[in-house]
Amino acid sequence: MVGPVPVGGRSPVSAQSMTTTKTADVNATLAQVYALGGAGADIVRITCNDVDAAQGLAEIVPRSPVPIIADIHFHHRLALAALEAGVAGLRLNPGNIRKEAHIKEVARAASDAGVSIRVGVNAGSLDKDLLAEFGAPVPEALVRSALHEISYLEDVGFTDIKISVKHSNVPLMVESYRLLADRVDYPLHLGVTEAGPPPGGLIKSVAGIATLLLEGIGDTIRFSLTADPVEEAKAGRQLLEYLGLRERTGLDLIACPSCGRAEVDVIKVAADATAALEEAKLPIQVAIMGCIVNGPGEAREADIGIAAGRGKGHLFIKGQVVRVVPEAEMVSALLDEARRLVDEGVEARLAAADVSAADLADETRIELLEVQGDANRSEERRAAVADIATGEEA
């Protein structure tokens, strides 16, 4: 448990982030903690790098909307001070707190306080002896470091442990966690360390974290981006929702990539719709499609969507066209119907559909096919397939 948040076992995978403010600046740090919680972070980590930071934690923890983990490096007494401040968890780096007696002292104090510890191995701060032995921060070295640190905690009967073996190289990060998962039953905290700024940092983080989550490895995650930490929290939460590991709480927007058939600027419509729907905080899946030819059919699993066609927007719910609106009103109509959908439910909105909308959409689809042609050459292909299937043997 990290405060009230369960980690591991059958618990939902949790999303984490870390503040970037000076911890001694209590108000600024609290403001960021609230922003992170609002963006989807279940747990927030805060640096505790000096006495002023530890004192700041004493004021931050009781006012925080989410559990706080203290990030500890080098000085074990700051871990003890953070426990006194009331944090819900500690992160210890085996690469820079080396004295066995100090580690065990922290473990005993954490046990008394009912506080969990994350053993946070990092490729960039691997213990020098292990680095010399293995020659590089390879997966075997990271796992060895974690197991060695865990042994100190277990020696004093401490088992409220999470583990991370982060690496900036995605394949090495994945392999490190796979090795660790084969060796321990403790919950694992996933992350690609020093992933960098978006979009590269996002791509690396998703590649590593999603790979492991889809293999059933991982219990809590953090995107380590060179960006506003709110972006970390949002990305982490979205990933968990997209993978079906957490219930959707925000917008999931799908859109076609656009093509020569598109009757509108799909990129602009999608951007405008995203901004409007995110501001409305509607937890639904929305589709933006560039044309009526394939739009509703291809996006029929979406809760709601809109497809463009000849100056009009065809609004559909679960693939059924329910309204046709002028092109200029596409986004506003979509927002209005989305709100009604959330308030009233799918069946009620389908029952309220414009009975002529589906026929009008079909007429527009046929018109576009006549003007633009069928890019998929459906009829031609069907005929060719039939000829082959029914042809005589040579």
Highest mean predicted confidence (pLDDT) among 28-32, 330-334, 339-343: 28-32
Q: Is residue 2 part of a domain?
A: no
Q: Is residue 391 part of a domain?
A: no
Same domain, 238 and 368: no
Provide the whole-model pTM: 0.84
Q: Is residue 268 part of a domain?
A: yes
CATH for 23 = 3.20.20.20
Q: Are residues 40 and 32 in contact, defined by beta-carbon separation less than 8 angstroms?
A: no
Q: Is residue 93 part of a domain?
A: yes
Please say if the pLDDT value at position 376 is more than 80.
no
Q: Are residues 305 and 318 in contact, defined by beta-carbon separation less than 8 angstroms?
A: no
Same domain, 82 and 213: yes
CATH for 361 = 3.30.413.10
Question: Rounded mean pLDDT of the chain?
Answer: 90
Same domain, 238 and 178: yes
| Count of domains for the chain | 2
How far apart are the C-alpha atoms of 237 and 250, rounded to whole Å?
Answer: 9
Same domain, 274 and 189: no
Residue/partner pairs of 232-235 with CB below 8 Å, 24 or more apart: 232/17, 232/18, 232/36, 232/41, 233/15, 233/17, 233/36, 233/37, 233/39, 233/40, 233/41, 234/39, 234/40, 235/202, 235/205, 235/206
Same domain, 237 and 365: no
Same domain, 305 and 236: no
Q: Is residue 104 part of a domain?
A: yes
Where in the sequence is the domain holding 271, given as residue range(s)?
252-372
Same domain, 58 and 105: yes
Number of helical H runs and strand E runs in the chain = 15, 13
Domain end call among 209, 242, 275: 242
Round to the nearest angstrom and report the end-to-end CA distance of the chain: 72
Angle at 299 between CA 270 and CA 316, to 5 degrees: 80
Same domain, 175 and 67: yes
pLDDT score of 79: 97
Domain end call among 201, 224, 242: 242
Mean pLDDT, residues 249-276 taken together: 82
Please state, for a pLDDT cut of 70, what percent of the chain lies above it.
90
Same domain, 208 and 292: no
